[in-house]
């Protein structure tokens, strides 16, 4: 009887966790939707792919998405996340040459 209870409990736990955790295409679609337009208050921010041409040493691996930090026109400042939603760093055009970025405090 004890073995049967253990098997049943394990099967139930597996079934519940399989339903609760989005995986595969569903998770990818949910992430794409979340990153296509992020709303903060009454402002909507669209991300764009960030290719890291400057070679920053982010604490998470790419691919990366960049978002403007302030509302309105994108402006010079961006926050960078990996496509899994983990914070990578903050960058700015201010003080950089051309269309390049330089790292903000904590981003090198």
pLDDT tens sequence across 22-73: 445 555 555 555 555 556 566 666 678 999 999 999 999 999 999 888 877 7
pLDDT given at position 21: 41
Query: What's the pTM value of the predicted model, to 2 decimals?
Result: 0.60
CA distances from 51 to 48, 56, 74 (A): 10, 10, 17
Selection from 53, 50, 77 nearest residue 64 by Cα: 50
Mean pLDDT over all residues of the chain?
A: 74
CATH architecture of the domain covering 22-103 = Roll (3.10)
The better pLDDT of the pair 2, 35 is held by 35
pLDDT given at position 32: 56
- pLDDT above 70 for 3: no
Of the pLDDT bands very low, low, confident and very high (cuts 50, 70, 90), residue 11 is: very low
Report how far residue 60's alpha carbon sits from residue 81's, in angstroms, rounded to the nearest whole number.
Answer: 8
Give the start-to-end residue ranges of the domains of the chain. 22-103
Task: Please give the helix or strand (H or E) that residue 6 lies within, else none.
Answer: helix 2-20
């Amino acid at each position: 009887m004890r073995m049967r209870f253990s098997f049943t409990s394990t099967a139930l736990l597996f079934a519940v966790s399989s339903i609760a955790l989005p995986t595969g295409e569903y998770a990818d679609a949910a992430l794409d939707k979340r990153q296509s337009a992020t709303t903060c208050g009454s402002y909507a921010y669209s991300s764009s792919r960030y290719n890291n041409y400057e070679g920053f040493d982010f604490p998470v691996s790419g691919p990366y998405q960049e978002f403007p930090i302030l509302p309105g026109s994108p402006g010079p400042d961006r926050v960078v996340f990996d496509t899994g939603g983990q914070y990578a760093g903050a960058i700015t055009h201010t003080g950089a040459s051309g269309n390049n970025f330089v790292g903000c405090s904590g981003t090198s």
